[in-house]
Amino acid sequence: MQKRRLSQVGVEAVERLNLPPETAVGVPQVELYGSRQLYMAGHRGVISYSTEEVTVSGGSMTVRIIGKDLQLAAMTDGELRLTGHIDRVELVE
């Protein structure tokens, strides 16, 4: 409960200060480079992985990437890069 309140305070502060939403606590940043590469910062881990679908926890939302020949090219504690033919990106709250 404490963590959730702190996260909400961070979101409210970002809104009041008119900062970009990606600076809010628990909000992932997703960048798509054409249909061949996806970069995500602020992830909380890979939930499921196959060559046709990758599901990633983004804290406040889940990001689902659907395509063909998907590969996890690089991953650190907070960032990942996915390559392949990306057909669709879904954000699920």
> Where in the chain are the domains?
25-92
Query: Which of the residue ranges 22-31, 37-46, 73-82, 83-92 would you say has the lowest mean pLDDT?
Result: 22-31
Contact 21, 30 (CB under 8 A): no
The correct CATH number of 25-92 out of 3.30.2270.10, 3.40.50.300, 2.40.50.140, 2.60.40.2000 is: 2.60.40.2000
Mean pLDDT of all residues in 60-83: 96
- Residue 1: pLDDT over 50: no
Nearest Cα to 53, choosing from 65, 35, 38, 45?
Answer: 65
- Residue 73: pLDDT over 70: yes
Nearest Cα to 31, choosing from 93, 92, 86, 69?
Answer: 86
pLDDT digits (tens, 9 = 90+) for 9-53: 666 777 777 766 666 666 788 999 999 999 999 899 999 999 999
